[in-house]
Amino acid sequence: MRLPPLPIAALVVSLMTASCASYRPPVTAPPPPLPAEYAVRCPSPPPAAVSPEVDAVAISLKQMYDLYGLCAGRLVDLLDYLEGARR
């Protein structure tokens, strides 16, 4: 069964206008500001151990591990905050 072109065009136009009338543009709002604790940069690494002694190198390495733990914890907190803001 073939329909004449005019009823098909009228059907298409009516469906298009119905879908456009029900379309609502997405609401875009600015993101909430980050808490101040997340805007703080990670501390700079300590200077490298100049002494050839093993104790000085171990202390410097321990300080680097502590800084890494601090920055990694901040990153995880920031990601958790951002994930919570999306919900």
Give pLDDT, residue 87.
Answer: 61
Give pLDDT, residue 28.
Answer: 79
Distance CA 66, CA 42 (A): 11
Q: Which one, of 2, 69, 60, 3, lies nearest residue 42 by Cα?
A: 69
* Predicted model pTM: 0.55
Which residue's structure tokens are 């609401």? 27
Give pLDDT, residue 22.
Answer: 64
- 58: tokens are 């171990």
Written as tens digits, the pLDDT of the chain (87 aa) is: 565 667 777 777 777 676 655 667 777 777 778 888 888 888 888 887 788 888 888 888 999 999 999 999 999 988 888 888 666
Q: How far is CA 82 from CA 43, 73, 75, 76, in A?
A: 22, 14, 10, 10
Q: Where are the domains of the chain?
A: 5-86
